[in-house]
Amino acid sequence: MSELTFETTLPAVRVQRTASRLRPGPLLAVTFLAFLIIAALAPQLFAHSDPLAIVPHDAFHPPGWAHWFGTDQSGRDIFSRVIYGTRQSLFIGLAATALAMGIAIVLGLLGGLGGAYLDRGVGWLLEILFAFPSLVLALLFVAIFGSGVGPLIVATGLGGAPGYARMVRGQVLAVRNAGYIEAAVALGHPTRRIILRQLLPNAMRPLIVTLTMGVGQAIVWASALSFLGLGAPPPAPEWGTMLSMGRDFVANAWWLTFFPGLFIVLTTLSTTVAGRYLQQRLEGRLS
């Protein structure tokens, strides 16, 4: 640990709660996440109008019975757009987190198992990556590879990877010396099998929580990029893009920016609360 002292990229991980009953908070969070997942799979269940249908003379209707969240500058129903946008926003969040984790596992395993030199190398790489704040890294990435959903996912994933990698490495180091691994080694099991069957699952278990919360954070960062006009191109009903397209009208029509933002907040909030609940359950079971 000569160069690494700041293992916290997703600080909420450290938070532990003692109670583990299903209180209203987690219940609401899980319900909302379930709602989002259903909305992502079958948006037509909730939204009755086409998110891309343009009705210019219906532009800028404030929220009301006909349009719960109002209409935007093209007369599109914002509620429908937010619901249909769930798919893309969730997908971006999940894909970016998965990518970040993929990179993290490779780096973490290399660092944790590859011997002292490799470990030091990985440590340096992480230190270098950490020197770029996530949005700066993402901006550089977008500058090189252009904007769009693909680069957005990669940029967000890259921004999150060093944090996860540090955790994976820590976990691998901790688990490597555990009794059951030593036992497996003594029994002569092949290394690959030990890594895949024993080491990785055990090292990853505590990270599940982090990942849950990470999806929320990834959605926030991705929408920040979209907000800067570097993400999903319009008319895609992606939340960040909707915010970006609506921000010129914030003085005339607040609902254009308010509702997509609200969904980002609720999603992040739910992943955090649900993740924390999951953590309590896992810890409860483990201890």
Partner 1 sequence: MSAITYSNARHERLARLARRATWRLAGGVLVLWAVATLTFFALHLMPGDPVLAILGGASGNPTAETIAQATREFGLDKPLAVQYALYLGRLLQGDLGMSYSQHLPVTQVLAEQSWATLQLTFSALALAWLLVLALTVLTAGRGRWVSSLASLAETLAAALPHFWLGILLLAVFAFGLRWFPPAGSDGWRTLVLPAVALAIPLAGFIAQVTRESLELTLEQPFVLTARTRGLSDTAVRFKHALRHAVLPGISLSGWAIGALISGAVVIEVIFSRKGLGRQLYQAVQAQDLPLTIGISLAVAAVYVLANIVIDLLYLWIDPRQQGKTA
Partner 2 sequence: MLERSPHLRSQGRRSRSLLKRTPLIGFAALCSLLVGCGPDTSTVARSDKPVSGGTLVYATDREPTCLDPHVSGDMPQVFIGQQYLDSLVSMDEQGQIGPWLAKGWEVSADGLVYTFHLRNDVHFTDGTPFNAAAVKANLDHMANPKTQSSTAGGYIRQYRSTEVLDDYTAVVHLATPYAAFLEVLAQGFLGIESPTALLRSRDQNCESPVGSGPFKIVKWDRQSQVELVRNPDYNWAPPTARHQGPAWLERIVWKFIQEPSVRFASLQAGEVDVIEALPPESHEAARRNPDLTMLVALRPGNPTNGTLNITRAPFDNLKVREAFVRSADVEGALKSVYFNEFPRAGGALSSATRFYSPDFEHAQDYDQGRAAQLLDESGWTGRDAEGYRTRDGKRLQVHVVIGNRTPPSELTLWEQVQATTRKAGFELLVEQMSDVQATQRQADWDYDIRVGYWNTNSADVLRIVFGSEFVQPAGVGGYHQNTAGFSSPQFDAINQQALATQDPEQRRALYYQTQQIASQQYLQLTTYPQSSRLGIYKTTQGVRLEPSLAVTYLYDAWVNK
Please give the residue ranges that form the binding site for partner 2 (CB under 8 A): 52-54, 56-57, 59-60, 73-75, 146-147, 229-230, 233-235, 244-252
Nearest residue to 278 via CA among 230, 213, 220, 232: 213
Residues 200-239 that bind partner 1 (CB under 8 A): 216, 220-221, 223-224, 227-228
Query: Helix (H) and strand (E) counts for the chain?
Result: 11, 0
CB of residue 13 vs partner 1: minimum separation in angstroms? 9
Nearest residue to 247 via CA among 265, 261, 233: 261
Contacts of 66 (CB under 8 A, 6+ apart): none
Asked whether the beta carbons of 76 and 57 are under 8 A apart, the reply is no
Q: With respect to partner 2, which residue has the nearer C-beta, 121 or 234?
A: 234
Q: With respect to partner 1, which residue has the nearer C-beta, 199 or 239?
A: 239
Q: Identify the sign of the CA torsion 228, 224, 231, 235.
A: negative
Token duo for residue 181: 């691994």
CB of residue 135 vs partner 2: minimum separation in angstroms? 17
144 interacts with, out of partner 2, partner 1, none, CB within 5 to 8 A per kind: partner 1
Question: Taking CB under 8 A as the rule, does residue 261 contact partner 1?
Answer: yes
Binding track over 7-46 against partner 1, x by CB under 8 A: -xx-xx-xxx--------x---------------------
Question: Taking CB under 8 A as the rule, does residue 257 contact partner 1?
Answer: yes
Token duo for residue 102: 């993929």
